[in-house]
Amino acid sequence: MPDLLIELFSEEIPARMQPRAREDLKRLVTQGLVDRGLTYGAAAAFSTPRRLALAVEGLPAASPRTVEERKGPRTDAPAAAIEGFLRATGLTADQLERRPEKKGEAFFARIERPGRPAAAIVAEVLEDAIRTFPWPKSMRWGAASADPAALRWVRPLQSILCILTTAAGVEVVPLEVGGIAAGAVTRGHRFHAPDAFAVTGFADYATRLRSARVILDPAERAAAITHEAGQTAFARGLEVVPDPALVEEIAGLVEWPVVLMGRIAPEFLHLPPEVLQTSMREHQKFLSVRNPATGRIEGFVTVANIAAADGGAAILNGNARVLAARLSDARFFWDNDLRTVATEGLEGMGRGLAAVTFHNRLGSQADRVARIAGLARTIAPMVGASPDLAAEAARIAKADLRSQMVGEFPELQGIMGRYYALHAGLPPAVADACRDHYRPLGPSDAVPSDPVSVAVALADKLDTLARFWAIGEKPTGSKDPFALRRAGLGVIRLALSNGLRLHLLDLARAAGAAGEAEDLLAFLHDRLKVHLRDQGIRHDVIDACLAMPGNDDLTLLVRRAEALAAFLATDDGENLVQGFRRAANILAQAEARDGVEYSFGADPKFAEDPSESALFAALDAAEAAIAPALSAEDFAAAMRAMAALRGPIDAFFTAVQVNTDNAVVRRNRLNLLHRIRATCLRVADLARLEG
């Protein structure tokens, strides 16, 4: 069976586009092959700055022969209809078959299509893939660049390698796209081995590329960078700051990674480590190297795309000069910001927020800061924080948005605020709140635990949610321009991670949601379902608990849901739910038929069967245990007490007929079913459970 090798060789592909491009090439080609009848055993895509490659194993030599039977018009149909059917099938009238149908005789066509050679199918699929490739940005080039129909690619495409390899040899797939004919030839590293060479299959291709100083697999390049950088730093008593995303990006910039390590000039070592790391990452694509004893960033790792004769000394010197210029800017911003803090304080630094619009219907950033400060003061006692510290932290938490450093590096907002607050001599809890009030930024981000930080973080997110709800700007479908879903998840994680007992309806109203508070709570409940689904709790379990009182206390709600989920995972739990449903269904049918509500008066003296007496006793015991358990919010104990009803309910339904001819006994048994339903509903609304 043939193996397919494709390489699309071009000028440098931006590193950020390579991961998606690999997947797109694999998807377009393999799906195209399958759609045309060519199955395959395995496929793997690769990329370097100058090439996209795809290896497909186990293709058949040709697509299978197919036979299709198609029903046509009736034999007495108008001639035009019959002629149209003949054109659609490509057959002649004498090739059609007549068959009897219920309403007469009809024509049937048997269309046989021979298999096609794999090379022809591959050529067709690859041309489609190249011409429709979904690059985020693409270009035309050369003499044909003015032609709207000319080939487009992310950078000028230079060659196409496309071969099928079998035991009999190598077949070049006959293909030409945009004037580029496919062949069996590729090139190595631009500087080390630029000459063209032919290959005979994937193994030969990968081996010869490595000899030509090209590592084809981006994961292998990334692993080599991580290993060499770590070893180089370790040899000097230092360590590399982990940054997997940057390593992946660097791996997309080089075909033959050569790790070089340099030192940061002493005059920049006093800068905060986050400033050094951000400046080097964003501007230079350098990995940061720190002293494990002090945590100070003292060096950098750069990755060259060439093994220089001087061991990289010239490259390091050039990079060090450029880095010094960048860090000089950072030092200038840092020094200026510290002078501002020293002379005006953080509130002075943030004074300019009055001129920054937060939203045209919600005022300025200064207006928002004032709202958050008031809300933080309200929330503080609920989370164990000092109201004065929480309000102070909220007033200065966004001051660094007006700093020169954050103006240059927006991703440092909050982080710089903490440094400036400490420099101003503010309490550590206030400084930490400046950094932490944005958190959590996502589902995996750390959640603040210090009370002052929690108060300000909640106030920040609740103000955002309540104010946008108040003006009708809510997320719709996939659109969420103000990141309100993220803010909602932040509120949920802050409450749950810290075990907070908050009444969110009251807080939503205090934050300005007013008449929209119930709708905002419903939104938070929806986000909670998504959050808990990832933890294995079903949405119907949440719905069963949402129907209970106090559902705006998320900590209480989740504890109830966790207990219910654990209960339902037991045999007693599932069987009791079935018994509850049976009782509720019989009761509902009887009440609908009789036009009355059987909700009181069940009396054990009317019990005719021992199972009835046992059920009365079991309900008495369960109710006596459930009430104090719910008062103590011990939902697990309440569930255990409810589980004890499983046996008596099963025995009751086995032994007696509820709708007996004796009207008194029937009414008593229906009222007993009401007790079953009411007792179970005290713990959770089991009627909302699915299945």
**pLDDT tens-digit readout, 31-44:** 999 999 899 999 99
Residue 649 maps to a domain: yes
- State residue 493's pLDDT score: 97
Q: Give CA–CA dist 633/271, Å, rounded.
A: 51
Query: Residue 362: which pLDDT band, with cuts at 50, 70 and 90?
Result: very high
Residues 14-37, mean pLDDT to the nearest whole number: 96
Residue 678 to residues 176, 615, 623, Cα–Cα distance (Å): 76, 14, 10
Task: Find the helix or strand (DSSP H, E) in which 273 lies.
Answer: helix 273-279
Q: Which of 190, 211, 232 is the last residue of a domain?
A: 211
**Does the pLDDT of residue 114 top 90, yes or no?**
no
Residue 7: strand pairing partners:
53, 161
- State residue 22's pLDDT score: 97
**Does the pLDDT of residue 444 top 80, yes or no?**
yes
CATH of the domain at 646: 1.10.730
Task: Find the helix or strand (DSSP H, E) in which 677 lies.
Answer: helix 663-681
Q: β-strands 258-263, 287-290: how paired? A: unpaired
Rounded-to-10 torsion of CA 524, 525, 531, 534:
-160
* Two tokens, residue 24: 């797109």
- State residue 381's pLDDT score: 98
Q: Give CA–CA dist 316/293, Å, rounded.
A: 25
> Residue 388, Cβ neighbours under 10 Å: how many?
12
Q: What percent of the chain has pLDDT over 90?
A: 86
Residue 608 maps to a domain: yes
Query: Residue 249: which pLDDT band, with cuts at 50, 70 and 90?
Result: very high
As for how many domains the chain has, the answer is: 5
**Does the pLDDT of residue 66 top 90, yes or no?**
no
Residue 546 maps to a domain: no
pTM of the model as a whole: 0.83
- State residue 567's pLDDT score: 93
Residue 620 to residues 179, 613, 614, 645, Cα–Cα distance (Å): 88, 11, 10, 10
Among 91-100, 418-427, 604-613, name the most confident range: 418-427
Domain holding 177, by residue range, is: 3-62+117-211
Residues 181-195, mean pLDDT to the nearest whole number: 95
189 and 247 in a single domain? The answer is no
12 and 57 in a single domain? The answer is yes
Query: Residue 415: which pLDDT band, with cuts at 50, 70 and 90?
Result: very high
- State residue 150's pLDDT score: 85
**Does the pLDDT of residue 145 top 80, yes or no?**
no
Q: Give CA–CA dist 607/246, Å, rounded.
A: 75
202 and 274 in a single domain? The answer is no
166 and 100 in a single domain? The answer is no
- State residue 218's pLDDT score: 97
**Does the pLDDT of residue 691 top 80, yes or no?**
no
- State residue 331's pLDDT score: 96
Residues 136-156, mean pLDDT to the nearest whole number: 86
Question: What secondary structure, in 3-state letters, does 536-588 show?
Answer: CCCHHHHHHHHCCCCCCCHHHHHHHHHHHHHHHCCHHHHHHHHHHHHHHHHHH
Q: Give CA–CA dist 295/397, Å, rounded.
A: 25
Residues 327-348, mean pLDDT to the nearest whole number: 95
Residue in the block written with tokens 């920054």 = 356
DSSP designation for 414:
T
Residues 250-262, mean pLDDT to the nearest whole number: 97
251 and 267 in a single domain? The answer is yes
- State residue 76's pLDDT score: 83
465 and 418 in a single domain? The answer is no
Q: Which of 511, 531, 551 is the last residue of a domain?
A: 531
Residues 218-243, mean pLDDT to the nearest whole number: 97
Q: Give CA–CA dist 525/416, Å, rounded.
A: 34
Helices (H), 212-272: 218-235, 244-251
524 and 639 in a single domain? The answer is no
**Does the pLDDT of residue 496 top 90, yes or no?**
yes
Q: What percent of the chain has pLDDT over 70?
A: 100
109 and 121 in a single domain? The answer is no
Q: Give CA–CA dist 300/297, Å, rounded.
A: 8
List, in order, residues 6 or more apart from 16 with CB less than 8 Å away.
249, 252
Burial class (CB in 10 A: 0-12, 13-18, 19+), 486: middle
Task: Find the helix or strand (DSSP H, E) in which 654 lies.
Answer: helix 646-655
87 and 131 in a single domain? The answer is no
**Does the pLDDT of residue 120 top 90, yes or no?**
yes
**Does the pLDDT of residue 146 top 80, yes or no?**
no
Q: Give CA–CA dist 611/147, Å, rounded.
A: 88
Residues 51-71, mean pLDDT to the nearest whole number: 90
Length of the chain as a residue count: 691
Residue 151 maps to a domain: yes
Q: Of 61-75, 323-337, 522-536, 541-555, where does mean pLDDT reach its minimum? A: 61-75
171 and 53 in a single domain? The answer is yes
Q: Which residue has the higher pLDDT, 128 or 146?
A: 128
Residues 253-260, mean pLDDT to the nearest whole number: 97
* Two tokens, residue 276: 């050094």
- State residue 181's pLDDT score: 96
Query: Residue 443: which pLDDT band, with cuts at 50, 70 and 90?
Result: confident
Residues 259-272, mean pLDDT to the nearest whole number: 95
Query: Residue 104: which pLDDT band, with cuts at 50, 70 and 90?
Result: confident
422 and 465 in a single domain? The answer is no
Q: Which of 481, 506, 531 is the last residue of a domain?
A: 531
Residue 556 maps to a domain: no
Residue 551 maps to a domain: no
Three-state DSSP state, 639: helix
pLDDT in tens, 627-671: 999 999 999 999 999 999 999 999 999 999 999 999 999 999 999
- State residue 112's pLDDT score: 79
Q: Of 356-360, 559-563, 687-691, where does mean pLDDT reach its minimum? A: 687-691
* Two tokens, residue 338: 């510290």
Residue 431 maps to a domain: no
Contact assessment for residue 197 and residue 185, using Cβ atoms and an 8 Å cutoff:
yes
Mean per-residue pLDDT of the chain: 94
Residue 542 maps to a domain: no
Tell me phi and psi for residue 307, to 5 degrees: -90, 95
- State residue 77's pLDDT score: 87
202 and 253 in a single domain? The answer is no
